[in-house]
Amino acid sequence: MDTILGSKIRMGQTFVKETRVPVTYIKSGPCVVTQVKTEEIDGYWAVQLGFGERKIKKVSKPVRGHLKKVIGDSNMVPRFLMEARLNKGSDLKVGDIVKVSDVLKKGDVISVTGISKGKGFQGVVKRWGFRGGPKTHGQSDRQRAPGSIGQGTTPGRVHKGKKMAGRMGGDTVYIKNLIVVDIEQEKDLILVSGSVPGNRGSLLVIKKIASGKLDELVQVAPEIQEQAEEIKVTMEDIKGTNEIKDKSVA
């Protein structure tokens, strides 16, 4: 398993060898295995994970039947269901629990996928970065207008995909090369370097890319002492030059 589900909690900061690193706190796991797919039956290897909780009365009867082996007599069902692909067969079975420590460790390089924040209906300047129209020559109300959106007789219509005003945000965003700074196994929390998409409490898909080191986050401070020595030598040279000039003038 190289994939686990989580939810965004908040942002903060921590220190790695005296280097301040902005981090995102993510509640990751525990996830329950709700379905196992095999190559013989489904054509590929995969595991469906469930994360979070919600009341059973808020889901449909087909979903209850699908999760019957997982929930048992409980009144709660997983809030999110997400499938994770596998390269080969796994020993996981329906009902098994996957914790964050089973997938990730400190220093791992990961990718995070989530739904970006919705920003409502926005104009072309904010949504696409248009510069707008001129401020002079009588253009009193065209400063944030999109301008022309197409040609005349040919083609006589507006092309599909034209960048125009519309609803902004709510897109699937994929961010890679983030580093796991710390893992709090008791609270099922992971601290990830940088920011991740989505609102607080939104679903995040965390996938391990490779193993790494926290030293990649450490920034080497400039050697101020050597710079001070250079400045001192320079001032001594200037002082000696002034003395030579004074003697020559005398």
Burial of 132 (0-12, 13-18, 19+ CB in 10 A): middle
Q: Are residues 107 and 38 in the same domain?
A: yes
In this predicted structure, what is the pLDDT of residue 212?
83
Q: Are residues 74 and 138 in the same domain?
A: no
In this predicted structure, what is the pLDDT of residue 240?
64
CA distance 180 to 16: 12
What contacts 70, CB < 8 A, 6 or more positions away?
A: 32, 33, 34, 50, 77, 78, 94, 95
Q: Are residues 30 and 50 in the same domain?
A: yes
In this predicted structure, what is the pLDDT of residue 201?
92
The answer to whether 205 touches 113, Cβ cutoff 8 Å, is: yes
Q: Are residues 199 and 112 in the same domain?
A: yes
In this predicted structure, what is the pLDDT of residue 74?
86
Give me the domain span that covers residue 232: 225-250
In this predicted structure, what is the pLDDT of residue 61?
93
Number of domain units in the chain: 3
Taken as a whole, the chain contains a residue count of: 250
Domain membership of residue 184 (yes or no) is yes
Q: 145 to each of 22, 122, 164, 168, how far by Cα in Å?
A: 37, 12, 10, 17
DSSP state of 140: S
Domain membership of residue 149 (yes or no) is no
Q: Are residues 185 and 124 in the same domain?
A: no
Q: Are residues 131 and 52 in the same domain?
A: no
Q: Are residues 9 and 123 in the same domain?
A: no
Domain membership of residue 152 (yes or no) is no
The Cα angle at residue 26 between residues 19 and 104, in degrees rounded to 5: 80
Domain membership of residue 155 (yes or no) is no
Residue ranges in the chain modelled with pLDDT below 70: 221, 223-250
The answer to whether 168 touches 119, Cβ cutoff 8 Å, is: yes
In this predicted structure, what is the pLDDT of residue 89?
82
In this predicted structure, what is the pLDDT of residue 9?
94
Residue 42: both structure tokens together: 């489904």
In this predicted structure, what is the pLDDT of residue 159?
94
In this predicted structure, what is the pLDDT of residue 27?
94
In this predicted structure, what is the pLDDT of residue 78?
92
